[in-house]
């Protein structure tokens, strides 16, 4: 039933880019008319929204505060502010946030809730480390991360969300995840959700976030349970990112 799920490609710029390079990266996407999503750093969101106005490129934020509305939380950016800035998707629980900043499943659930409360779509990241994979815990770890969201928010919550699987073990380690590796995990995650609600599982878009590049995108997207990509480094190269979008039929 994969044909019924619209592919989605999100470019996560992480802590990269300057004012001019951000503009230069967006212009080819607008010109090409692709239906993609880009996640610039917070400081470029408003300017990017202006540049993308009227185009088929949507805006994502790389993170969001777990706290609602407004308040005395220095350095935080709330979901309400992001929505006002024109953001449509919010990346939550990225492996780097979990690894470097100690984000917990509970915090990721809170951030996901705040995102939906303000009318945006959370992109919920899950993934296992090399140690966890080598210990044979990959499926258990990733299932637990996803089910923490379902347990907190209810499985129906996932009808308004996107999931991104990041094989942390294959990012920057020299190890590679094959399309079959990725498909196995995506199928497992969909199966876990199907145990609670088959309809939501069938419609849930599960993106792959493991070093997707122009030359491996097509083989990944051919897999029945891979519904697109969360792209890191390649999203900083307009031509590479466009090639990935075209491989997804966008």
Does 94 qualify as catalytic in the annotation? yes
Q: What is the DSSP string of 89-147?
A: EEEES-HHHHHHH---HHHHHHHHHHHHHTT-EEEEEE---HHHHHTT-HHHHHHHHHH
- Residue identified by tokens 């996932």 is 158
Annotation-wise, does 233 bind a ligand? yes
Return the H-helix or E-strand segment holding 11: strand 8-12
Annotation-wise, does 169 bind a ligand? no
| Closest to 104 (Cα-Cα) out of 148, 70, 140 | 148
Does 166 qualify as catalytic in the annotation? yes
Annotation-wise, does 143 bind a ligand? no
Annotation-wise, does 191 bind a ligand? no
In sign, the C-alpha dihedral spanning 71, 16, 47, 211 is negative
Among candidate residues 94, 96, 103, 128, the one labeled active-site is 94
Annotation-wise, does 216 bind a ligand? no
Annotation-wise, does 211 bind a ligand? yes
Among candidate residues 3, 166, 186, 188, the one labeled active-site is 166
Annotation-wise, does 239 bind a ligand? no
- Active-site amino acid positions: 94, 166
| Residues making up the binding site for substrate | 12-14, 172, 211, 232-233
| Residues making up the binding site | 12-14, 172, 211, 232-233
């Amino acid at each position: 039933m994969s044909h019924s799920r619209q592919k989605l490609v999100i470019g996560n710029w992480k802590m990269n880019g300057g004012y001019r390079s951000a503009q230069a990266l967006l212009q080819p996407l607008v010109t090409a008319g692709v239906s993609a999503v880009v996640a610039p750093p917070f400081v470029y969101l408003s300017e990017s929204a202006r540049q993308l106005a009227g185009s088929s490129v949507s805006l994502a934020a790389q993170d969001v505060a777990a706290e609602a509305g407004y308040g005395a939380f220095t350095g935080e950016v709330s979901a309400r502010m992001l929505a006002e800035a024109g953001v449509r998707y919010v990346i939550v629980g990225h492996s780097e946030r979990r690894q470097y900043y100690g984000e917990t499943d509970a915090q990721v659930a809170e951030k996901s809730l705040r995102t939906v409360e303000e009318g945006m779509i959370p992109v919920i990241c899950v993934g296992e480390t090399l140690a966890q994979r080598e210990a044979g815990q990959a499926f258990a770890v990733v299932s637990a991360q996803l089910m923490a969201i379902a347990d907190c928010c209810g499985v129906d919550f996932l009808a308004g969300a996107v999931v991104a699987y990041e094989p942390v073990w294959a990012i920057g380690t020299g190890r590679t995840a094959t399309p079959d590796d990725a498909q196995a995990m995506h199928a497992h995650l969909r199966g876990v959700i199907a145990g609670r609600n088959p309809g939501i599982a069938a419609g849930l878009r599960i993106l792959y976030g493991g070093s997707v590049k122009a030359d491996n995108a097509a083989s990944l997207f051919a897999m029945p349970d891979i519904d697109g990509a969360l792209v890191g480094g390649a999203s900083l190269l307009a031509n590479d990112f466009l090639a990935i979008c075209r491989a997804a039929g966008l």
